[in-house]
A = this chain, B = another copy of it.
Amino acid sequence: MHFTSERLIDGDVVERRFTLGDIPGILWTPASRPAPLILLGHPGGLDTMYPRLAGRARRSAADGFASATIELPGSGDRPPSPDAQAARADLRSALAHGEPVGEIVDRLVLPLVEQAAPEWQSAIDALLALLEISGPVGYSGGLVGVGIRLARVEPRIVAAGLFAGSFVPRSMVEEAREVTIPLHVLLQWDDKGNDRQLALDLFDAFGSAEKTLQANLGGHTGVPPHAGEDAARFFCRHLR
């Protein structure tokens, strides 16, 4: 892990860009150290996602948590994946024509999950080696698959806040049964890019003894402020 830049945001939050091998990432640490860590999941494209990621990191820093994220395979400055590009084009076309997307979602998401999950685990290795990060580790991000996989396979992740706002392969419903950590699932009730029934099926499938689904009215980007606060309190309960 090599740090490539460092600056202060909001007075006392340190934002550092880094590379992990050839994978770019960003780490935010609060003034209080050592801090528990929240991994910030996203749909790919760190530069585009930066304002929202930094906003989430600032909020977590106010609660005493460090936050970190890495670029997804095939996104941002990483080499593009021709297969993923083809699947994405097929998905757009299928959606435009109202055709079923299940097989395309599998082609798009499953290889991504296979490649990304070990990369995020390597990031956890490197981040927990830093003096300013103590663990435990939480995951906060889309339900797209990486979050479910990490929640299932990575024992250092003790709690996950998942946003049901993306395409999920049906096979992940089976995988969800093996997830046992506490979960806080946010569902935007009118999210057009989201299959509401699949999100409910996934919530039902998770094997966790403590799981909360919070559904709010509105579309993909319309999460109300109080929902963000409830999610933050979830991490405070489980990471402090």
Contact = CB atoms under 8 A, between A and B. Distances in A.
Label chain A's interface by main secondary structure: mixed
A1 interface: no
Interface of A: 189, 200, 203-204, 208-217, 224, 226-227, 229-230, 233-234, 237
8 contacts: A189-B211, A208-B217, A210-B217, A212-B214, A212-B215, A212-B217, A213-B215, A229-B233
A214 B214 contact: yes
Q: How many copies does the complex hold?
A: 2
A226 B238 CA distance: 12
Given A200-B200, A204-B189, A230-B230, A216 B211 contact: yes
Contact of A209 (B204, B215, B217): B217
Nearest to A210: B217
A189 B217 CA distance: 19
Contact of A214 (B208, B210, B213): B213
Contacts of A211: 189, 216-217
Given A230-B230, A233-B226, A212 B208 contact: no
Contacts of A234: 226
Contacts of A200: 200
Contacts of A230: 230, 233
A211 B217 CA distance: 6
Between A189, A203, A209, the greatest number of chain B beta carbons within 10 A of the residue's beta carbon is seen for A189
A213 B212 contact: no
A232 to B, nearest CB: 12
Nearest to A216: B212
A213 B210 contact: no
A213 B227 CA distance: 11
Contacts of A216: 211-213
